[in-house]
Amino acid sequence: MTQLSAEELTLTYETNTIINGINLNIPKGKITIIIGANGCGKSTILHALGRLMKPKQGSVYLNGKNIHQYSPKEVAKQLAFLAQSPEILEDLTVEELCLYGRHPHKSLFARHSDKDKAVVEEALKATKMDLLKDRTLDALSGGQRQRAWIAMALAQETDVLLLDEPTTYLDLAHQIEVLELLRALNQKHKNTIIMVLHDLNQAASYADYLISIADGEIYQEGTPNDIFTEEMIQHVFGLNSKIIESPVNQAPICIPIGVI
């Protein structure tokens, strides 16, 4: 199974240091969620882990090798990245979108093989998009469109899925639909899933492992029950809160009291 990690990772935009010398060791086969205040560098970390951004200092390692020593195609065979607001022609059908996920496995001008079609069909079934495969993206609801993008990522057949705020712009029902889908995929296929989420209670409920970011560094990391505390919420978000236990799944729940 693919292993993703980082050592002394420093990330900058021009002269501004966003992330300063962090070390990461992403748990294999688990759901890891990165949380933190707006502008703290959550998405920046995800972009670096996905080889979409080169570190100022330090390295990201994919199976023990510097990720920038791989070709883009080699990386795409091992990890899939779903951006916050992916853009593609709206007249593509769901099935055509999913076939894009097969590109890392094809030579330049090769046609789609029977295996490609079988993998896409399985990805569509896994995301419950098989009955909508002939619809164009602009004819889908927000939740359906996000499931279509996840199906494309699954068609890439990678061990690792990176998702940047996959519930953005979705109403609550569609947010839960997407998160439940990701959890089901993780439980069935043991994909390593790393995502950025804004909703703290969703993060605590769906994460196996949480990483909280503050002041360009990792403030705390661990299981939600270990690190989701009033002290962490106060330090990372500048928020007074009360942490209680969910009566449904015993996950911690943050009840805001007021901004510090």
User: What's the CA angle centered on 217, arms 65 and 260, to 5 degrees?
Assistant: 155
Q: What is the pLDDT of residues 137-183, one digit of tens each?
A: 999 988 898 899 999 999 999 999 999 999 988 899 989 999 999 99
Q: What is the pLDDT of residue 119?
A: 92
Q: Over the stretch 185-209, which tens digit does the pLDDT of each residue have?
A: 999 989 999 999 999 999 999 999 9
Q: Which CATH architecture has domain 4-78+159-259?
A: 3-Layer(aba) Sandwich (3.40)
Packing angle between helix 142-155 and helix 172-189, nearest 10 degrees? 20
* Nearest CA-CA partner of 161 in 199, 201, 123: 123
In whole numbers, what is the pLDDT of the chain averaged over residues?
92
Domain residue limits, the chain: 4-78+159-259, 88-157
pTM: 0.92
DSSP state of 136: B
User: What pLDDT does 108 receive?
Assistant: 59
Mean of pLDDT values over 93-109: 84
Residue 107 has what pLDDT? 64
pLDDT band at 110 (very low <50, low <70, confident <90, very high): low
Residues 6+ away with beta carbon under 8 Å from 146: 166, 167, 170, 174, 178
State yes or no: pLDDT of 111 exceeds 90.
no
pLDDT tens digits for range 29-67: 999 999 999 999 999 999 999 999 999 999 999 999 999
What is the reported pLDDT for 170? 87
Highest mean pLDDT among 84-88, 109-113, 227-231: 227-231
For residues 119-135, give the mean pLDDT. Answer: 94
